[in-house]
Amino acid sequence: MRIALFVTCLADTLFPGVGQSTVRLLERLGHRVEFPEAQTCCGQMHINTGYASEALPLVRHYVELFKPYEVIVAPSGSCVGSVRHQYAMVARRCGDEKLAQRAEGVAARTYELSQLLVDVLGVEDVGAYYPHRVTYHPTCHSLRLLRVGERPLQLLRNVAGIDLVELPDAEVCCGFGGTFALKNADVSTAMLADKMRNVVDSGAQVCTAGDSSCLMHIGGGLSRLRAGVKTVHLAEILASTREAG
Amino acid sequence: MTTFLGMPTAPRGVGHLRQVEPFPVAARRGLANTQMRRNLTKATGIIRAKRAAIVGEVPDWEQLREAGRAIKTETMAHLDHYLEQLETNVTAHGGVVHWARDANEANRIIVDLVCGTGAAQVVKVKSMVTDEIGLNEALAQAGVQAYETDLAELIVQLGHDRPSHILVPAIHRNRAEIREIFLREMGDADPGLSDDPAALAEASRAHLRRLFLSARVGISGANFAVADTGALGVVESEGNGRMCLTLPETLITVMGIEKVVPSWRDLGVFMQLLPRSSTGERMNPYTSIWTGVTPGDGPQQFHLVLLDNGRTAVLADETGRQTLHCIRCSACLNVCPVYERVGGHAYGSVYPGPIGAILSPQLTGIEDNASLPYASSLCGACYDVCPVKIDIPSVLVHLRARHVEAAREGRRLPRGEAVTMAAASWVMASRGRFTAAQRAAKLGRGVGRRGQIRRLPPPFAGWTEARDMPVPAAMTFREWWRREHRPEDGARG
């Protein structure tokens, strides 16, 4: 299958390994990945901070760029959540009904990675190997906006060598929330403290999730505390094999 | 030609709807109050588990939620019709209906009614709306003492405190604190009072019983009003409400205009949704329903005050109006990770938590509660539990946009933020500018140690107070892609 990758601005700039892993994984499964190089950012930060008119050019850019593709994947629950649940709303708010309708079409073809694998490609065992103790944080937008449900866990359970342990209070937000972490830094930190305690209590050495932004938040806290737990994106675990870890 | 200035919002200088300080500042005090945080974590954890279990027993819960949403949507679309129908039916059954544009008007109506009876004290059923309009203060100014009779409201009143939760106003207090308040303030408490919940309840029972038997005026809110019969309903757990609703000669009920439902049949939906969502019970212990006046039984004077106080302004907003569907169950507070950590006082309004973060700014106008729409990580837990499916995260985002638009018009946008957002939009709208920005960001690699940045300047300083920040990658994804894959034919940016 021909799949267009929307890598997200965060992964592109700070976590390129997430994008590389997504490409390697999909190619290993026999698919052709295309990377429309004009892509930039989904605009979620603008939308969620109240800057709808500043988000509009980014919405238009994404919709125009990805319109030709049948299947689009992004390794981020929140960016896909924004495309699927906010794009048409932003376009309508700015009075562009035509863009809103085009956005709805492109949004329906945009998938978060675990949705693409399980629902579109029909795979639950991607043939990965990852011999580490891992706990999974189901990020809020994957969980409650996209309803990815058990899909990431189904994929992780089929990874050879993995020791998957449960995260206490897994469904509680880590406190990132985009600019919330800056505007309400103290509250965000209090939420992060509880998330980190649960990650450490799980006994895992790796905390994984389907969103680089939440992982940057949790990982940034764990790094500051020298907690001995690292964060690894779901795509990176699923891309790991016995041959190349 | 006239200019439409929008619907009137709740007036300033009266009631409890406005922040006195921005949410992040008030939240810091809540975060530092370790006793309150322990009380809240424990209490919300218990209610969350009870709610989840009891909702789980209902096979058609999602259909019930949808029915609740549909009834409220229909009601809001024809609110004028249902309110007039309610007025007709209440009047036909011997009640008197008063229309109050705002808090000042409502307070004036109620104070006049109470003073007209000659009573110097009133007993009150727990009511959010009378706290919204600051009725107790208005009564006090007229020389009338209002006694709260709901146990938690009594604790708040005796403690000279503010409510911090919709359902459990004293949720921030534990039993040791309540014992101290009773001993200090009740006047008639046994000095040997223990902090056993049963003993505390008994102390309040003895204290309140005398008030019930002597009060000539009762004041209540209402959970529902049924348009096609004129019936009013109050849902409670303690029975103190029923005392207030039945013993005094005069009953004055204050109700936000959004509380009306079209018909009796609709109560079948809400009486299933409300107790399960609020206390995690299949059925609440006391449901009192009355229609006007019944000669020789219960209050012989009944007044219904219908309050707007900014609600019509909420109704006028297509996205925001679903906020008026709220049945005040407080399930959204109990699941909110922000509320659990900061407590209700941080919201500065009688309506705390996620629902407060969308209701208060709409009632007052966003400029008076500007930081509330941002008091959420948009995690969406509130939307999942809302019994009438209010999409709180979407309304929060909508209100943020309204705030930015209003601030832009009044040139009141925080300059740094507006400039950053505009610049980020400009950069991100073009591949060339975006890649140039990525190259510039790589300069930040020099700031980091072992791949992490330990300290960033404002506005990012809040991040690095508690978190490291990874340095930009040496090779961006797109550079890797170019190296590994042939660039697409005709790719332009």
B86-107 residue pLDDT tens: 999 999 999 999 999 999 999 9
Chain A residues touching B384 at Cβ < 8 A:
144
pLDDT higher than threshold 90 for residue B487 = no
Residue A189 identity: T
Tokens of B33: 């109050």
Distance (Å, whole) CA B374 – CA B360: 13
pLDDT higher than threshold 70 for residue B1 = no
pLDDT higher than threshold 90 for residue A172 = yes
Cα angle A163, A165, A171 (rounded to 5 degrees) comes to: 145
pLDDT higher than threshold 90 for residue B492 = no
Provide mean pLDDT across the span B113-134.
Answer: 96
Statement: A133-239 belongs to CATH 3.40.50: yes
Tokens of A173: 């937000």
Question: Do residue A38 and residue B27 have CB atoms under 8 angstroms apart?
Answer: no
pLDDT higher than threshold 50 for residue B482 = yes
Provide mean pLDDT across the span A202-228.
Answer: 97
Q: How confident is the model at residue B50 (pLDDT cuts 50, 70, 90)?
A: very high
Comparing CA positions, the residue from B19, B49, B40 lying closest to residue B333 is B40
ipTM confidence score:
0.97
Residues B306 and B437 in one domain: no
Q: How confident is the model at residue B488 (pLDDT cuts 50, 70, 90)?
A: low
State residue A238's pLDDT score.
Answer: 98
Residue from the list B24, B429, B473 with its beta carbon closest to the beta carbon of A14: B473
- Where is pLDDT greater, at B368 or B459? B368
Question: Do residue B459 and residue A36 have CB atoms under 8 angstroms apart?
Answer: no
Place of tokens 């950590």: B341
Chain B residues touching A190 at Cβ < 8 A:
31, 341-342
For residue B297, the enclosing domain spans 33-312
Chain A residues touching B465 at Cβ < 8 A:
185, 189
Question: Do residue B381 and residue A9 have CB atoms under 8 angstroms apart?
Answer: no
Chain B residues touching A9 at Cβ < 8 A:
428, 434
Nearest-CA distance B225 → chain A (Å) = 34
State residue B491's pLDDT score.
Answer: 46
pLDDT higher than threshold 80 for residue A27 = yes
pLDDT higher than threshold 50 for residue B234 = yes
Residue from the list B377, B460, B472 with its beta carbon closest to the beta carbon of A14: B472
Least trusted range by pLDDT, from A16-30, B83-97, B181-195? B181-195
pLDDT higher than threshold 80 for residue B413 = no
Chain A CB within 8 Å of residue B370 CB? no
Give the strands of the sheet with A206-209, arranged side by side: A163-165, A133-136, A206-209, A230-233
pLDDT higher than threshold 90 for residue A174 = yes
Domain CATH number, residue B263: 3.40.50.10420
Question: Do residue A23 and residue B378 have CB atoms under 8 angstroms apart?
Answer: no
Chain B residues touching A89 at Cβ < 8 A:
394
| pLDDT, chain A, mean | 97
Last residue of a domain, one of B312, B334, B364: B312
pLDDT in tens, A122-157: 999 999 999 999 999 999 999 999 999 999 999 999
The structural domains of chain A, with segments of one domain joined by +, span 2-120, 133-239
What percent of chain B clears pLDDT 70, i.e. is strictly above it? 97
Nearby residues of A212 by Cβ (< 8 Å), 6 or more positions away: A8, A10, A11, A14, A15, A18, A75, A76, A233
Provide mean pLDDT across the span B319-333.
Answer: 98
Last residue of a domain, one of B312, B341, B362: B312
Residue from the list B24, B380, B397 with its beta carbon closest to the beta carbon of A183: B24
Distance (Å, whole) CA A103 – CA B358: 27
Last residue of a domain, one of B278, B293, B312: B312
State residue B3's pLDDT score.
Answer: 58
pLDDT in tens, B348-375: 999 999 999 999 999 999 999 999 999 9
Q: How confident is the model at residue B447 (pLDDT cuts 50, 70, 90)?
A: confident
The answer to the question of residue B393 being in a domain is: no
Residue of A nearest to B383 (CA): A144
Provide mean pLDDT across the span B190-210.
Answer: 93
Structural element, H or E, at residue B236:
strand B231-236
State residue A244's pLDDT score.
Answer: 73
Least trusted range by pLDDT, from A46-50, B47-51, B189-193, B333-337? B189-193
In chain B, the number of structural domains is: 2
Comparing CA positions, the residue from A154, A175, A173, A179 lying closest to residue A50 is A179
pLDDT higher than threshold 90 for residue B5 = no
Question: Do residue A12 and residue B341 have CB atoms under 8 angstroms apart?
Answer: no
Q: Is the dihedral of CA B135, B140, B145, B148 positive or negative?
A: positive
Chain A CB within 8 Å of residue B41 CB? no
In terms of DSSP bridges, do strands B217-220 and B250-256 run parallel, antiparallel, or are they unpaired?
A: parallel
Residue contacts between A and B (CB atoms, under 8 Å)? 208
State residue A245's pLDDT score.
Answer: 57
Chain A CB within 8 Å of residue B264 CB? no
Comparing CA positions, the residue from B30, B361, B341 lying closest to residue A50 is B361
Residue of B nearest to A52 (CA): B401
Residues B137 and B286 in one domain: yes
Global confidence as pTM:
0.96
Q: How confident is the model at residue B324 (pLDDT cuts 50, 70, 90)?
A: very high
Question: Do residue B404 and residue A12 have CB atoms under 8 angstroms apart?
Answer: no
Distance (Å, whole) CA B447 – CA B110: 65
Q: What secondary structure letter does DSSP report for B165?
A: S
Residues 89-148 of chain B whose Cβ lies under 8 A from any Cβ of chain A: none
Provide mean pLDDT across the span A187-209.
Answer: 98
Residues 420-449 of chain B whose Cβ lies under 8 A from any Cβ of chain A: 421-422, 424-425, 427-431, 434, 438, 441
B493: three-class secondary structure by DSSP:
coil
Query: Cα separations (Å) of B198 from B43, B194, B195, B201, B209?
Result: 17, 9, 8, 5, 16
pLDDT in tens, B240-254: 999 999 999 999 999
